[in-house]
Amino acid sequence: MKFNKLVSSSRRKNRKRLFSAPSHIRRKIMSSPLSKELRQKHNVRSMPVRKDDEVMIVRGHHKGQQAAKVIQVYRKKYVIHIERITREKANGAPVHVGIHPSKVVITKLKLDNSRKRILERKAAGRKQLAAKGKHTEESIQAMES
């Protein structure tokens, strides 16, 4: 069911928006879920992937290996390159395999000041949403009088 009448359901338009998206929107599209521990700690479900984050692959041919560091976030192709995830080219040279960020889980965040602010902002929004619609003792007394 469609909730926002300003957003198209057309496959053609959605594909056009995806493949002609500018870099700042591609960053947001290239988000990965956080691991259960990080989700508990920061009260945030997902974050845009960044170089030097540690991720674990959960889907596809390379899944199940231990956490490895993100080497490159390739926004143009919507993939990330992860250390030790390579394949051999025909001439024998190793090349990194591109993996879509939705198929990995972030296990360790590279935190700097801007990333901490993002986490705090997202957590505050979730906290506000959780409290929405809940009645407190004061609100019940105010309604009764």
pLDDT tens-digit profile of 97-123? Answer: 999 999 999 999 999 999 999 999 999
Structure confidence at residue 144 (pLDDT): 81
Q: Give pLDDT < 70 ranges for the chain.
A: none
Amino acid of residue 47? M
Tokens of 77: 């192709």
C-alpha–C-alpha distance, residues 39 and 130, integer Å: 15
Structure confidence at residue 134 (pLDDT): 75
3-class DSSP assignment, residue 16:
helix
Kindly tell me the burial class for residue 70, based on how many C-beta atoms sit within 10 Å of its own C-beta (0-12, 13-18, 19 or more): buried
C-alpha–C-alpha distance, residues 83 and 140, integer Å: 56
> pTM for this structure?
0.84
Alpha helices in the chain (DSSP H): 11-19, 23-29, 36-42, 113-131, 137-144
